[in-house]
Amino acid sequence: MDNNLLIQVENLSRYYGHRAAVDDISFELHRGEVLGFLGPNGAGKSTTMQIISGNLAPSEGRVLINGIDLLEQPRQAKAGLGFLPEQPPLYRELTVDEYLRYSARLNRISRSRISQAMQSAKEHCGLTEVGTRLIGNLSKGYQQRVGIAQAIIHSPDVVIMDEPTVGLDPIQIREIRHLIRSLGKQHSVILSTHILPEVQATCDRVQIINKGQLVLSDTIAGLERRMQGSSLIVAFQQRVEPADVADLPGVEEIELMPDKRLRIHHLAEQNPADALVALSVSRGLGLYELIPERMSLEDVFVDITCADQPEQEEATS
């Protein structure tokens, strides 16, 4: 077995009646990766996270954690997992130290190692100064840190986080994203979110789920290449009609814009920019504007998902 392969999800499905909330998805997670699990509300993200964390049984398929089948040997498999649900499982009447000690005992950490495990988790999550404070008196950002600390206190190989920055202010969001990136150096992380900048800020790889199906799996670098776009905005001093540039290599479609500029859609692998410059020079057209258009991550996301919106929002996502 590959020691760097921590999670294998194989042909996973979950049905509610005749509706598939998760529909035959498969993927892997390797050591040191931060995987962004992205999708619109109701797409199946939370259902998938609940199955992987062992809180919900699949209708079909299986999940292997460190090569251990989650259904057949749940205790052994879950020992390698840390889980932060969308609502952190906190006890507001306990202090941070009391809660983390309780979490350590739940994770079967030996008594001799509990203090060390607590100290390590607090240092990772920036909680060393608030150990004696009641959780209920902490800010939302610090409560989220406590939730992350309980997820990593037993040093699991994999940490699963479901919407970890929901409800936080911009400063708290930045701090939690930095924390997630630092966790990725020692643990592998699955981050479920519908917030697009979250993926770019924290993840190495992204998967998009829509209507229960995986519709994209790529590295962040690959996603950036998709965002380069395949269109140009051009403007000439002389009047140029779409037909004048339609036969240039790579040109697929031309839009005449209201200000007489042209938007030229072209093949991704065949950019006609050089040909446009040569045409302008040879015919004296006075090319004075040539701008490549760049897609945003939101554009990519909408292109992939909007054509196949789920008819009914999933209750658990």
Task: Please state, for a pLDDT cut of 90, what percent of the chain lies above it.
Answer: 59
pLDDT, position 316: 44
The answer to whether 95 and 142 have CB atoms below 8 angstroms apart is: no
φ and ψ at residue 203, rounded to 5 degrees: -105, 155
pLDDT, position 127: 95
Asked if residue 28 has pLDDT above 90, the reply is yes
Asked if residue 104 has pLDDT above 50, the reply is yes
Asked if residue 76 has pLDDT above 60, the reply is yes
- Predicted TM-score of the model (pTM): 0.75
Mean pLDDT calculated for residue range 191-211: 87
pLDDT, position 308: 52
pLDDT, position 1: 55
Q: pLDDT digits over 42-71, tens only?
A: 889 889 999 999 999 999 999 999 999 999
Distance CA 45, CA 38 (A): 7
Least confidently predicted of 21-25, 181-185, 221-225, 263-267: 221-225
Confidence of residue 262 (pLDDT cuts 50, 70, 90): very high
Distance CA 40, CA 215 (A): 12
Asked if residue 314 has pLDDT above 70, the reply is no
pLDDT, position 313: 43
Sheet holding 231-236, edge to edge: 251-256, 262-266, 231-236, 287-292
Domains and CATH numbers, the chain: 5-225 (3.40.50.300), 230-293 (3.30.70.100)
pLDDT, position 290: 94
Distance CA 130, CA 149 (A): 13
Distance CA 188, CA 85 (A): 16
Average pLDDT of the chain, as a whole number: 88
Distance CA 283, CA 109 (A): 78
Asked if residue 5 has pLDDT above 70, the reply is yes
Number of Cβ atoms within 10 Å of the Cβ of 115: 13
User: Minimal CA–CA distance to 176: which of 299, 28, 34, 31?
Assistant: 34
Q: pLDDT digits over 283-312, tens only?
A: 999 999 999 887 666 777 777 777 554 444
pLDDT, position 187: 83
Q: Considering only residues 30 and 317, tell me which one the structure prediction assigns the higher pLDDT.
A: 30
The answer to whether 231 and 263 have CB atoms below 8 angstroms apart is: yes
Q: 250 — alpha (psi -120 to 50), left (phi > 0) or beta?
A: left
Mean pLDDT calculated for residue range 93-113: 96
pLDDT, position 228: 66
pLDDT, position 2: 66
Q: pLDDT digits over 239-253, tens only?
A: 999 999 999 999 999
